[in-house]
Amino acid sequence: MAPLPVPDVRAAPPAALPPATQGTLLDEVASIVATHLEGHPERTRIPGLSIGIGVGSLPARIVHAGRTRREGGEPVGDHTLFRACSMTKTVTTVACLRLVQRGWLSLDAPLADMLPPDLLPASCTEGFDRAGITLRRVLSHTAGFNVYSYDFVDDGLTLPTSEQLLRGETEPDKALRLIREPGSAWDYSGGGFTLLRPLIEAVTGRDAATIIAEEVLRPAGMTSSTFRFDEATRSRLVTGHDPDGAEVPFRQIPDLTASGLLTTAADLTKFWRACMPGSCRATGIPELLSPAMLADMLRDQRPNAQGLAWGLGFQLDTHGGSPIYRHAGCRPGHWGHAEGHWQGGLVFVTLCNGQKGDEIYNALIGKVRRALHRVRTAARAAVR
């Protein structure tokens, strides 16, 4: 059975909640979070969490719980860094779309024309139309690539370059190649997003981490977020914990543009709010993209309505008539999720240092979504 269609932001412009109602929703969601986390049985396996809540134009609230590591860690706080994991893809997406707006990139031109020829050789596209590999298709996971994700690298070892990853020099079974005709189907590919690092560097002549910081992190006010691993950064980074709650040894992430961001709940909440369409964007939160580009980003890009509904960089969903843009991130020892609701202007971000963070999140997000639905329904009834 085909999934239900996701409302198009262009046809369903966001409706901001009245100011008093925004406060009601923010208080209710914060209360839900505090009650849900208190004494939750999974907290023994998930030592620390940070949760960001943004509603309409009100200042965000950040809730911290637990410690940076199970044994001997510091309390989780405002400056605690978490791995964004695959949520990095949303930040990389917006950076690429800003480069499109500047004329550096095109959404629909063949990427092979912009990349070094050895990164998309004939051997990796044999039998398929390499001209069909476009930025739009990479961002929406419809380019036809293999490689779900790349592995961590043990501490102390030299990180492979993106080019080495893409050629399969470190993981031979993960050399990037086409496995279906570009544009024919949806299939999640972290390998495609890893290709964006050399793409950004090829068109700008500069380091991709620097470009993403200039295009997204600084304009969005994400002052604690970084792609850099140094001693200062590492001292603020949580320790991961496996599904049983045991510590996971520190390892580095090589695929920078797919999974490499280190961030805080406050910073990721700022970014998600900056991606909120129209009148629901909070006061003081910058407009990173033009309204037309933002609408394209939050439009279902699938060619045949099969698979998960996906825009450019973001998964799309609905709840109670409220369209949602969201993304999860999970790697060994770490888990996170963020979502924004067009109707009502709610942003909800969860970061934790336990691989089973979904055990806490799944029940919590249901309560949060139902609270939004109740408040929106009451607000509509009050104006009739």
pLDDT value at position 282?
Answer: 64
Q: Do residues 329 and 336 lie in contact, with contact meaning Cβ atoms separated by under 8 Å?
A: yes
Q: Looking at per-residue confidence, does 335 or 14 come out higher?
A: 335
What burial class does residue 373 get, using C-beta atoms within 10 Å of its C-beta: 0-12 exposed, 13-18 middle, 19+ buried? middle
pLDDT value at position 281?
Answer: 66
Mean pLDDT of the chain: 90
pLDDT value at position 280?
Answer: 61
> What pLDDT digit, counting tens, does each position of 273-289 carry?
999 987 566 667 788 99
Note the Cα 52 to chain centre separation in Å.
14
Q: Looking at per-residue confidence, does 18 or 80 come out higher?
A: 80
257: part of which helix (H) or strand (E)?
A: helix 256-259
Bridge partners of 178, per DSSP, are 145
Residue 350 has pLDDT above 90, yes or no: yes
Q: Do residues 246 and 47 lie in contact, with contact meaning Cβ atoms separated by under 8 Å?
A: no
For the 19-85+223-382 domain, the top CATH level (class) is alpha beta
Smallest CA-to-CA distance from 83 within 308, 351, 341 is with 351
Residue 237 has pLDDT above 90, yes or no: yes
Question: Which CATH entry fits the domain spanning 90-209: 2.90.10.10, 3.40.710.10, 3.20.20.140, 3.30.10.20?
Answer: 3.40.710.10
Round to whole Å and give the CA distance between 205 and 96: 14
Considering 26-30, 55-59, 172-176, the range whose residues carry the highest mean pLDDT is 26-30
Q: Do residues 231 and 223 lie in contact, with contact meaning Cβ atoms separated by under 8 Å?
A: no
* Residue 321: C-alpha distances to residues 15, 197, 344, 372 (Å): 12, 37, 11, 11
Q: Do residues 320 and 306 lie in contact, with contact meaning Cβ atoms separated by under 8 Å?
A: no
Q: Which residues contact 140 (CB under 8 A, 6 or more apart)?
A: 186, 301, 302, 310, 311, 312, 313
Number of C-beta neighbours around residue 304 at 10 A? 11
Residue 210 has pLDDT above 80, yes or no: yes
Has this prediction a pTM greater than 0.75? yes
Please give the average per-residue pLDDT across 247-254, as a whole number.
91
Domain locations in the chain as residue ranges: 19-85+223-382, 90-209
307: left (phi > 0), else alpha (psi -120 to 50), else beta?
A: left
90-209 shares the fold of 19-85+223-382: yes
Note the Cα 13 to chain centre separation in Å.
22
Tokens of 375: 């408040």
Tokens of 234: 């590492």
